[in-house]
Amino acid sequence: MLKIIIGLLLCLQLLFSTDVAMEIVKNTGYKPSITVSLASDVTMQSPFANDLKKLLEKDLEVSGHFDVKNIQINSNFNSTPNYYTLKQQGVDLLAVITTEQSVFEGFILKLKLYDSNMNSLAVDKSFNSVKDERYPFLAHKVAIEINKYVNAPSIDWMERFVIFSRYTSPKESQIVIADYTLTFQKTIVQRGLNIFPKWADEKQENFYYTTYNFGLPTLMKVNIFTAKSEKITQSDGMLVCSDVSRDGKKLLVTMAPNSQPDIYEYNTLSKQFSRITTFGGIDVNGHYLEDEKSIVFVSDRLGNPNIFSKTIGQRGANRLVYHGKNNNSANAYKNFVIYTSREDNNEFGKNNFNIYLVSTQSNYIKKLTTSGMNQFPKFSRDGESLIFIKSENNKSYLGIIRLNHDKSFLFPLDKGNIQAIDW
């Protein structure tokens, strides 16, 4: 039972800074300057118009591909701006936006992007929102469109849902979907203890999570559009789905059916489990590595939580990290691994965890954060960005690290505390 409790605490602990770098993506070089303007000749703007402008500016900043200038430019939506004046102000691109009510539910966001170097209208496009509350995704779509125009590396991840579990009171937590800035939020599972959400597919139509509402820890699968739910399995002690294969056909699950936390692989077609780790201690938090024939995971086989790799179906495990005495969370992208490491000298002192990046093919190591409680680092699907949770003064923040742009950003959660996160 003690091993189960310690293993669960490790999972619950899975677990900002400007000192970030990685060799996955090349630097883009020159960053065009851009100004966002809300059309001045529209009298019936959506109540979200000003928020959309601010969100779009933030998206362009987070992308790392633009020099966002806060210059007041009064622009009529259907009038060509003075390109000479733009050049004098050092503005390469002018994004003029406006909104109008849709004939159906929701509204329309219109974009006109002017290129002062080409003296021309570069993009003229409209974006629809079926529901008013989803307006943040319109800003993200516009940012993606502008990013495509300058041929910068993709920022399509901005359009994806973030899913997280939020503690609301003792033994009560919700599963919430949101945009990456946490401006849009929608609760999709509530009542009882619901934790560790994990997307089940690339399209983000289904997700897995663990609930304690049926006596034993139970792994559930839910469709976010139909609300159809399915029980996958139950287990004594603990039960967490930590990763899903790219094709969605296999899961990595931590279970303790025999009072020992181990990592299992679940085949969604045959509905069979196969045990991957057999060490007589704590093995948790498995993630697929490289070609999905091996995994990275957390184990106490050296006396303290540390990061190991293992080929599925073979005996033995390889130690990946030789730094820190409490490395209790890991995530992988191809041959890169990120992990959290406790950096306090006093075991009972303030909990400070920082995030590190290592390569499985070299001695490369990089510290990505410098202070504070930084938890649950996850790679984006293209490996260019990280998402993580920062806890500070009893408040939760969603953090974004742009690995090749030396930039980090924090977005506060309005209420409750984030327990786990995925995107």
CB 307 within 8 A of CB 328: no
Higher pLDDT, 300 or 347: 300
Same domain, 125 and 13: no
- Lowest average pLDDT, out of 4-18, 183-197, 289-303, 320-334, goes to 4-18
Same domain, 316 and 414: yes
Same domain, 264 and 371: yes
- pLDDT surpasses 80 at 415: yes
Same domain, 136 and 272: no
pLDDT digits (tens, 9 = 90+) for 158-199: 999 999 999 999 889 999 999 999 999 999 999 999 999 999
**Of 123, 152, 181, which one is at a domain's C-terminal end?**
152
Same domain, 103 and 230: no
Where helices occur in 222-366 by DSSP H, the ranges are none
Same domain, 281 and 400: yes
Q: Residue 124 sits in a domain of what CATH number?
A: 3.40.50.10070
The two tokens of residue 24 are: 């996955």
**Stretch 246-261: mean pLDDT:** 93
- pLDDT surpasses 90 at 46: no
**Stretch 264-281: mean pLDDT:** 94
Please choose, from the candidates 273, 274, 279, the residue with its C-alpha nearest in 3D space to the C-alpha of residue 298. 279
- For residue 1, what pLDDT band results from cuts at 50, 70 and 90? very low
Same domain, 20 and 40: no
* Residue 43 confidence (pLDDT): 61
Q: What angle, rounded to 10 degrees, do the helices at 49-63 and 135-149 form? A: 40
Chain-wide mean pLDDT for the chain? 89
CB 59 within 8 A of CB 38: no
**Of 122, 152, 182, which one is at a domain's C-terminal end?**
152
* Residue 4 confidence (pLDDT): 46
- pLDDT surpasses 50 at 264: yes
* Residue 79 confidence (pLDDT): 92
Buried-exposed string 309-327: b where 16+ CB fall within 10 A, e elsewhere: bbebeeeebeebbeebebb
Same domain, 359 and 231: yes
Same domain, 105 and 192: no
* Residue 100 confidence (pLDDT): 85
Same domain, 218 and 346: yes
Please tell me the pTM assigned to this model. 0.88
CB 306 within 8 A of CB 327: yes
Q: Give all strands of the β-sheet with 417-422 in edge-to-edge order.
A: 185-189, 172-178, 162-169, 417-422
- For residue 19, what pLDDT band results from cuts at 50, 70 and 90? very low
Same domain, 81 and 178: no
Buried-exposed string 343-370: b where 16+ CB fall within 10 A, e elsewhere: beeeeeeeeebbbbbbbbeeeeebebbe
- Lowest average pLDDT, out of 125-129, 203-207, 347-351, goes to 347-351
**Of 126, 152, 178, which one is at a domain's C-terminal end?**
152
Higher pLDDT, 132 or 249: 249
Same domain, 17 and 49: no
| Kind and range of the H or E run holding 53 | helix 49-63
- For residue 22, what pLDDT band results from cuts at 50, 70 and 90? very low
pLDDT digits (tens, 9 = 90+) for 79-88: 999 999 999 9
pLDDT digits (tens, 9 = 90+) for 141-159: 999 999 999 999 999 999 9
CB 366 within 8 A of CB 360: no
Q: Is 327 helix (H, G, I), strand (E, B) or coil?
A: coil
pLDDT digits (tens, 9 = 90+) for 302-312: 889 999 999 99
Q: What is the phi/psi pair of residue 237, to 5°?
A: 80, -70
Higher pLDDT, 15 or 105: 105
Q: Residue 312 sits in a domain of what CATH number?
A: 2.120.10.30
* Residue 350 confidence (pLDDT): 64
pLDDT digits (tens, 9 = 90+) for 328-357: 899 999 889 999 998 865 555 567 899 999
Count of domains observed in the chain: 2
- pLDDT surpasses 70 at 26: no
- For residue 23, what pLDDT band results from cuts at 50, 70 and 90? very low
For 122-154, the three-class secondary structure string (H helix, E strand, C coil) is: EEEEEEEECCHHHHHHHHHHHHHHHHHHCCCCC
- For residue 389, what pLDDT band results from cuts at 50, 70 and 90? very high
Task: In whole angstroms, give the CA distance from residue 161 to residue 166.
Answer: 15
Task: In whole angstroms, give the CA distance from residue 91 to residue 336.
Answer: 38
**Stretch 198-209: mean pLDDT:** 97
Which domain, by its residues, includes 67? Answer: 33-152
Strand partners, 389: 375, 398
